[in-house]
Structure 1
Amino acid sequence: MNLRGSAKIGSVTKMTVHMRKLSLFLGTTILSAAVMPAWSAPVRHQPPRAHAAPAAQKSLPAKSANPENIAVTVRRVAHGTQTTVSQNLISQAIPGTNPMKVLGQMPGIMFQTNDAQGIDNYAAQIYMHGFQQQEIGMTLDDMPLGEMTYRNYNGLNPLQAISSENIARVDVSQSAGAESIAATNNLGGSFEYVSRDPKDKRGGTVAQSFGSNSSFHTFVRFDSGALNPSGTKFFVSYSRNDAGFWGSHGNLFLQQVNSKFVQPIGEDSKISAYFDWSDLHEYSRQDYSFDMLDTLGYDANNYYNGKVSGYSTAYQAALGHYPANYDKLSDPADASVYDAGTNVVDYFGGVKADLALSDHLRWITTVYGHGEDSQTTWSSPFFPSPNGAPMSEVVKEPAIERYGILSALHYNIAHNQLGIGTWYENNSYQSAMNAYEQPTIVDGVLQGPLRSGVSKWSDPFAQIFNQDYSTNVFTAFVQDTYSPIRNLFLHFGFKSILDTTRVGNGYINPSYYGATGPLASGVGLTVAKPFLPHISANWKFLKHHELFFDISESVHTYAESGYKLSNSPFAVLQSAFDASRGQIRPETAWTYAVGYRYNAPVVSATLYAYRTNFENRLQQITSGSLINPVSAVANVGGVTMNGVDAGLTLRPVRGLSLYNTVSYDHATYDNNIKNGQVLYPTEGVQVVNYPRFMYKSRLSYEWKNAMAFIDGNYIGQRNFTYTGDVKAPGYWVADMGAQYTIKNLGQYDRRLAFAQDLVISLNVNNLTNTKYIATMGEAGNPMSISSGALSFQGFELAAPRQYFGSVRLDF
């Protein structure tokens, strides 16, 4: 079953209120940014070409000769420990694809999902060098996106923040440095998304895609072009993705509006505003166990089929009358439910003033706001409805309302590039879960409307739990990049963090959980780290050669979530919080990295080695069923990670490229884990869910207006249990794509003179139709086989081979 759920009631702020507040917020901040360039987001700028610094460091930007140009090479461009992935590479994937799936082609990064595009935000999962997504900092145009978790508590998934077609690039910091990033969770690095600017010339894009399982993706964008001599311009876009879910009757639906406004000021300053509205409605596939895989095969799912027959099957299962073979499972009641779904609406945006105060001094300000309401649902056979139905709809209903401001000054003098900046955010998060009635069946007749997991739920008959979180975060950074000679850059900086979270309004329903005692409430924790250093160097010696190293310390502030849903020290009973409070410390990591890069027209090669000491690891210790586990959060010690990435790209003839990378990550637990009276031998065991070995390759060829590629990846075996006695086997998977561009359509017909390019593309996902375990740990990981690991539903199955075609017209 899938533990999703929610809708917003009572004290939770409605989206209409969010819309009014954000509209007022954007209107007032556009005006304030225009007249007062105070407070600025710490934004990365490329340094002047004559004195180029590593991209992971701040400097004054060189003015682009063609700011609309999007990189036209698939080859990655990297400096130090930072790598950039361009829109060109993203555009070669299936239209509407989660850009993190494209990042998964990079060495040391693993992306997993249960659908071809990575749209299901429950199953979408990314790791980098052993760190999971909650430990990777993410921003969009410097605005923090928080922790990428299902039921995010301090941000939103990048997929819901921007349409993939509107991304200019993604800057990836492989080490944990980047002290200027607005994040308090970047133990394992960062992903910084940058949106495309409006074009100087009026135009737009219309694209339509279609594919397997009745999948459709529509994208429309209009660019105003320069509206006056000062260069005022904007774009607005709409995207709609509606995809059938393989092996089930549900679908994945995401619609989104993006808009960006840019007002140049003088020759080298501008004010810009970005706005995003996203509406996500999607059914969820079944969480699987090894017991289910062996007994039911690859195609089992929830009972939902959009008809009364599906509800009737779930109704009978809730009464203990299971479909064929379900009675052979050790836990048939947990195996499947009627349905599970996700409904999330986000409003997100901000205003930035990027001002050159002099030839050497730049002041950048970003103010932003974000509101989210969501309902994540599942049909529980363990909590009957008051009307006599043997199940109810359990709906988790988290809501977010957050506002923040970033400010930075960047000053270039002599051989120094200096930077100083701050970030402040206030976040209000509510984590309610409620129960709603499902209809009864009498003499085979449904006694009420048939509802689904993506319905809008209201009027619950019971509250199951609630906690209200209030978090204030303040960070500051100072940095300097010193270049004693033209090709050597020495960097030093540090970050300070002060984060305070308080929890109140705690409630728990003892009839659901059988809990004894109240939920943690009226309590708080503070993380204060005044000095988190970052030291690096970058030396470009000889022709085409580059050496670099990077050393940094980082911290992860405490997570927040609903009861028993994560390793949050707050999401437990008051008694468990009191017992663990003296042992809880924020997670920290020291990362040491060294690398070499060679880049020439025919051959490119990289070598990146790292060591990370991850301390005070917080872990949710669970036992029992997935429905109602016994849960506590404990400090279980550290993890030591030693790894290396090696890459080689060959371009023997014009247009042909062969890209290969090998990654090895020896990430093991430093301590054994004790749960109650049981000691689990985890010391020296590879971390869960992340492989020790990965191999990735891409063969691509461009000829005139045609392009084709094939990707091949090997993901090694992964530990499913913390003790490593249950593993998911390794697998090979391949994707393929091709594009053909017809340029200047006006030469064929004068009536088409308004059009620029017509792009026709074809993509094949999972070319060899490989069956494999994809996402793991989305519902947690069991300790060992002796604790019921084989029946624990903690992984998702991968999508089979699927085909997609698209047509895009640029004008």
Structure 2
Amino acid sequence: MNTKKIACLASTALVGSLLAATAAFAQSTGSSEVDQVVVTAARARAIAGQVQETLPKSRATIDGAYLQNQATGQNIFQSLNQLPGVSFTNNDPYGSSGGNLRLRGFDGNRVSVTFDGVPLNDTGNYAVYPNQMLDPELISRASVNLGATDVDSPTASATGGTINYTTRLPGTEAGGIATASFGSNNYHRGFLMLESGEVGPLGTRVFVAGSYQKYDKFKGPGELEKKQFNARIYQPIGDNGDFVSLAANYNINRNNNIRALTLSDFRNFGKDYDFDATCPAASAGNCANFYGRQVNPSNTGSIRGAGLFHVAENLRLTVDPSFSYTLADGGSQLGTISETDGRVRGTRFGSITGFDLNGNGTTTDTVAFFAPSVTNTRRYSLTTSLIWDINPQNRIRVAYTGDYGRHRQTGEFTYLNPDGTTTNVFGGKEGHGKTVATADGSFLRNRDRFSIAQLNQVAAEYVGKFYDNRLVVNAGLRAPFFKRELNQFCYTTNASTLPGVVTGFNVICTTQTPNAAAADGSVTFGTSATKYIAPWAATVKYDKVLPNAGLTFQVAPGHSIYTSYAEGFSSPRTDNLYTATLVNGKGAPADTQPETTRTFDLGYRYASGQLLATVAAWSTKYKNRIVQSYDPDLGISIDRNVGDVDAFGLDTQAAWRVADYLTVTASYSYNNSEIQSDLVNGAAAGNVLPLKGKQIVETPTHTFGGRLDWNITEALHFGVQGKFTGDRFSTDVNDEVAPHYTVWDLDVRYDLPFAERTYAQLNITNLFDETYFGSISSRTNALPVTGVSGVGAPTYYIGAPRTVQLTLRTEF
């Protein structure tokens, strides 16, 4: 491939935000096929290979050529950060520590993320993990739906939009790609992909790929390591576009955490403050600040199928099945327990006073263990569509989405090494580390629950073209039916002080025999008066009919307007529901209702041979927002619905081809997200948080982005990009602010004259070494509020300093 051509394409790849899309930018095979009728209707213009957006919704896209300019191995969310409406903060310069995503003010848990149509949000809390994403060399494109989903989106959580990215197809010719990268912080990475080309009588195509990455934290002790393996087989069927495909991905992360700082930490200790390098033997049980006790491991993988089949000339069937696997942990990871604790004595509580856990011959010690919160998920999904072309101007689709996830959450203790590190990063998880035996032969654990998340969704969609294809109308309806089966195997501790109420979230996991149940069904242990809810099970169901509609109209050559309306739905997360209340003598989940959104977009697009431009105004009405708040009927703070958020804003972007060798792109977004009601914080009179009129946390009001690409010569390409992120509130009451900042990145690529299709690339991120607060862990209020009990200090990840990376890439 000619790298000058790559650079030229990349120079306007960013135009894809709101501007560029083709049919295949949709997340599933079915959506790709349906979108073709819209794209072809507009006879879209292109600048340097980028096509004018024609869909009647606000969508943003980047392609593989643009990704090649970014730092090698970077996670896809960081590359999407240049798009309007997107705000992403990376926790380290190379992307393996994760980060924080905001899309038009919605956090990442409320954004549906899919990979070749496979849902990536956690089945329990809907979180997304940027460090587990596909190697960028294998991504053909990534798109963002701002405020809306596709009609077949496999999600029960998306109120804020979707992010979809797709794997490249194996090439038609045998060959491959190899890269080697080195950089700051002892960074090194290697990537290799081999392609078969078309083989055999059927023209089967295959690629296999692998990568290895390792580097030191940019501050404090510790390192980050990532291994990833990928493969895809693609089989075309006939000459009408039918195909079957099977792809596989497996990703292994082993990371030491980077310390997040409070504002006080930053002022007192500086930006490089981090975890301790050692854990003294004398205090091995209390080294909560030891870097070796701060680990973030994960094993994730997926098998993804896709198929398109013509049942008749005007009738097509698409089928996208998948399986995905997750094993990961986090949490405080420090479990310190007395040898006399009831959990240690278990069913022998009345016959012994303690049990020797550390083998020193005594039974009165307090012993430290590694006690992570482990999540293990097995997930099966299917998205399928039947598409009927009534005639060239009218198309109908019906779709079904099924998503079944088995979500196991445990916290088995395991032993520590003499230096304070863990003997296994997954604790005592079965098949991994050694469990810590108790007196009765059971084992210590701090969490033990199992849930099943099941989504069955039906959808229908119509796309029509009118007035010589100048008007395109899209109307759809999706109806998700979502069910959670909850199983709490531990005892829930009562946190309420109100008489006659037993409710809470924290648990103790024990085999100790409780005292006889009280009249209300609660239990106690030993001589303690603390009430507990016995292990319980429940099933909750949620459903909603969600319409979406849009149209785009070409008012004159090069000028078009579009408008869209979409409703979103997010069912409560697992943690929302495991707050239990004693009802009729049994545990019952919190009565939390789904969040819903209604989003309106109105946009204008201009396209000529030299300029693409767009502006989109939007409004989102947010109902039943879920936050942790005080419930006066229960006497504790729980996750519950507290009210509405009204948001509106503006997303704009332009791309100008100044000359064949020079392209400039720029974007700007404005966001106003206002909470509509105050929040009751406690039982005392006046304990109300003044949230009405406040802005949503972690969301900048203003963002600017821009990039310049310059092909200086046939062999030399220069690029520079910047992103301004405005002030962000870090508390709900808006009493602490993360200041605005601007980060600039530079890339230079040179085609080596002595090696065909080979180049060297220099990337410098944070070119001017800006010090800034990146990801935020927000709190309710940082300063005292009259009548309100309690304060909490937000924490911040410090933005990575200037980082230099050099990559050598060759294609063969």
CA distance in 1, matches of 2:411, 2:372: 6
Task: Name the structure 2 match of 1:775.
Answer: 775
| Structural mapping, 1:7-406, within 5 Å | 42-45=30-33, 52-53=40-41, 79-80=55-56, 81-121=58-98, 124-147=99-122, 157=129, 159-267=131-239, 268-303=241-276, 305=277, 310-312=278-280, 315=283, 318=286, 339-376=293-330, 378-380=332-334, 383=337, 386-387=357-358, 388=365, 391-406=368-383
Q: 1:504 to 1:377 in 2, by over 3 A?
A: closer
CA distance in 2, matches of 1:315, 1:78: 63
- 1:34-85 CA distance string (max 9 Å, x none): xxxxxx9633237668972589xxxxxx9xxxxxxx9965898564422221
Q: Find out whether 1:681 has 2:690 as its counterpart.
A: yes
Say if 1:260 and 1:274, in contact at 8 Å, map to a contact too. yes
Letter in 1 for 2:295: G
Letter in 2 for 1:42: G
Q: 1:72 to 1:738 in 2, by over 3 A?
A: farther
- 1:190-234 CA distance string (max 9 Å, x none): 111111000000000111111101111111000000002321111
Task: Name the structure 1 match of 2:527.
Answer: none
Task: Name the structure 1 match of 2:543.
Answer: 528
CA distance in 2, matches of 1:761, 1:789: 51
Q: 1:383 to 1:675 in 2, by over 3 A?
A: farther
- With 361-370 and 695-704 compared, the bigger mean Cα shift is at 695-704
Task: Name the structure 1 match of 2:513.
Answer: none
Compute the displacement of 1:453 (Å): 5.4
CA distance in 1, matches of 2:91, 2:534: 34
Q: 1:648 to 1:352 in 2, by over 3 A?
A: closer
Task: Name the structure 2 match of 1:458.
Answer: 434
Say if 1:77 and 1:85, in contact at 8 Å, map to a contact too. no
Q: 1:48 to 1:451 in 2, by over 3 A?
A: closer
- 1:367-410 CA distance string (max 9 Å, x none): 11112222336453865785356643221111001112221011
Say if 1:43 and 1:364, in contact at 8 Å, map to a contact too. no
Q: Find out whether 1:591 has 2:599 as its counterpart.
A: yes
Choose the corresponding residue for 1:694, options 670, 688, 703: 703
Choose the corresponding residue for 2:576, options 569, 574, 599: 569
Letter in 2 for 1:434: E
Choose the corresponding residue for 2:477, options 462, 475, 494: 494
Letter in 2 for 1:243: Y
Compute the displacement of 1:159 (Å): 4.8
Task: Name the structure 2 match of 1:329.
Answer: none
Q: 1:698 to 1:525 in 2, by over 3 A?
A: same
Q: 1:119 to 1:384 in 2, by over 3 A?
A: farther
Compute the displacement of 1:660 (Å): 1.9
CA distance in 2, matches of 1:439, 1:669: 49
Q: Find out whether 1:559 has 2:532 as its counterpart.
A: no
Task: Name the structure 2 match of 1:15.
Answer: none
Task: Name the structure 2 match of 1:506.
Answer: 489
CA distance in 2, matches of 1:587, 1:799: 35
Say if 1:78 and 1:84, in contact at 8 Å, map to a contact too. no
CA distance in 1, matches of 2:282, 2:473: 63
Letter in 2 for 1:241: Q
Aligned partner of residue 556 in structure 2, secondary structure: coil
Task: Name the structure 2 match of 1:634.
Answer: 640
Say if 1:379 and 1:391, in contact at 8 Å, map to a contact too. no
Task: Name the structure 1 match of 2:674.
Answer: 668
Aligned partner of residue 119 in structure 1, secondary structure: coil
RMSD: 3.2
Task: Name the structure 1 match of 2:19.
Answer: none
Q: 1:679 to 1:213 in 2, by over 3 A?
A: same
Please list every run of 5 or more consecutive structure 1 residues that lacks an aligned counterpart in the other structure. Answer: 1-39, 56-61, 63-69, 320-333, 441-445, 561-567, 624-629
Compute the displacement of 1:336 (Å): 6.7
TM-score (norm 1): 0.81
TM-score (norm 2): 0.81
Compute the displacement of 1:782 (Å): 3.0
Aligned partner of residue 218 in structure 2, secondary structure: coil
Aligned partner of residue 532 in structure 2, secondary structure: coil
Say if 1:337 and 1:381, in contact at 8 Å, map to a contact too. no
Q: 1:622 to 1:699 in 2, by over 3 A?
A: farther
Say if 1:466 and 1:508, in contact at 8 Å, map to a contact too. no
| Structural mapping, 1:714-793, within 5 Å | 714-742=724-752, 756-777=756-777, 781-786=779-784, 792=793
CA distance in 1, matches of 2:328, 2:555: 52
Q: 1:539 to 1:177 in 2, by over 3 A?
A: farther
Q: Percent of aligned positions with the same letter in both sequences?
A: 19
Compute the displacement of 1:454 (Å): 7.9
Q: 1:660 to 1:634 in 2, by over 3 A?
A: same
CA distance in 1, matches of 2:621, 2:215: 42
Please list every run of 5 or more consecutive structure 2 residues that lacks an aligned counterpart in the other structure. Answer: 1-27, 340-356, 359-364, 438-443, 495-505, 509-529
CA distance in 2, matches of 1:350, 1:667: 37
Aligned partner of residue 651 in structure 2, secondary structure: strand
Task: Name the structure 2 match of 1:422.
Answer: 400
Letter in 1 for 2:229: V
Q: 1:713 to 1:347 in 2, by over 3 A?
A: closer
- 1:569-616 CA distance string (max 9 Å, x none): 223244599999675210000000111111223332211110000110
Task: Name the structure 2 match of 1:328.
Answer: none
- With 389-398 and 202-211 compared, the bigger mean Cα shift is at 389-398
CA distance in 1, matches of 2:170, 2:158: 30
Say if 1:608 and 1:644, in contact at 8 Å, map to a contact too. yes
CA distance in 1, matches of 2:583, 2:84: 40
CA distance in 1, matches of 2:533, 2:377: 24
Q: 1:225 to 1:380 in 2, by over 3 A?
A: same
Compute the displacement of 1:317 (Å): 9.6
Aligned partner of residue 747 in structure 2, secondary structure: strand
CA distance in 1, matches of 2:222, 2:492: 31
CA distance in 1, matches of 2:303, 2:125: 17
Letter in 2 for 1:109: V
CA distance in 1, matches of 2:410, 2:178: 40
Aligned partner of residue 299 in structure 1, secondary structure: coil
CA distance in 2, matches of 1:479, 1:696: 35
CA distance in 2, matches of 1:184, 1:379: 30
CA distance in 2, matches of 1:421, 1:503: 28
- With 348-357 and 454-463 compared, the bigger mean Cα shift is at 454-463
Letter in 1 for 2:322: Y
Say if 1:381 and 1:391, in contact at 8 Å, map to a contact too. yes
Compute the displacement of 1:794 (Å): 3.0
Task: Name the structure 1 match of 2:664.
Answer: 658
CA distance in 2, matches of 1:741, 1:46: 40
Choose the corresponding residue for 2:389, options 389, 412, 431: 412
CA distance in 2, matches of 1:573, 1:757: 61
Say if 1:213 and 1:245, in contact at 8 Å, map to a contact too. yes
Compute the displacement of 1:103 (Å): 0.7
Task: Name the structure 1 match of 2:20.
Answer: none
CA distance in 2, matches of 1:452, 1:505: 25
Task: Name the structure 2 match of 1:13.
Answer: none
Say if 2:398 and 2:461, in contact at 8 Å, map to a contact too. yes
Q: Find out whether 1:484 has 2:484 as its counterpart.
A: no
Aligned partner of residue 555 in structure 2, secondary structure: coil
Q: 1:803 to 1:738 in 2, by over 3 A?
A: same
Q: 1:73 to 1:620 in 2, by over 3 A?
A: farther
Aligned partner of residue 67 in structure 2, secondary structure: helix
Letter in 2 for 1:661: S
